[in-house]
Amino acid sequence: MKYMLLIIGDESQYADWSEEDMATQMQAWDEYTKSLVAAGAFVSGEGLQTSTTATTLQVQDGERILTDGPFAETKEQIGGFYVIDCKNLDEAVDWAAKLPSARRGGVTEIRPVMDYGPEYDDPHSVERQGAAS
């Protein structure tokens, strides 16, 4: 079963980080990712640039309305995510609790990923079949 771990935190805290803090953090994330891979639980994961770089789009009657900034203007923003594969929610919670951000007091939302069944499992396989026929 796949779960997405949405990593949520106050972005302003990174502002006062020294280069050394940054390096320590990077290493912690790297180790975390490696432990996921070693356990066979890693599916994907990315860190995101701060929400000041975000653009929000809504198409209304064919018109693209762009807004500067994230969808929700809150102090806490999504800073990154992992998609992990594990047996059940308890295991997902265990992984989430080990996130470097969680250990610093950050918030994590754990969302089960939708399962569309085997025929929709891999979007690439559909593409490839389409290309072959």
88 binds another protein (CB under 8 A): yes
Q: Which is nearer to another protein, 22 or 89 (CB)?
A: 89
Which one of residues 18, 59, 63, 87 is an interface residue with another protein (CB under 8 A)?
A: 87
| 126 belongs to the binding site for another protein (CB under 8 A) | no
- Whole-number Cα distances in Å, 102 to 14, 71, 91, 121: 15, 23, 15, 30
Q: Where are the alpha helices (DSSP H) in the chain?
A: 19-38, 89-97, 100-103, 123-132
| 47 part of the interface to another protein, by CB under 8 A | no
- What are the residues binding another protein (CB under 8 A)? 1, 87-90, 93-94, 110, 112
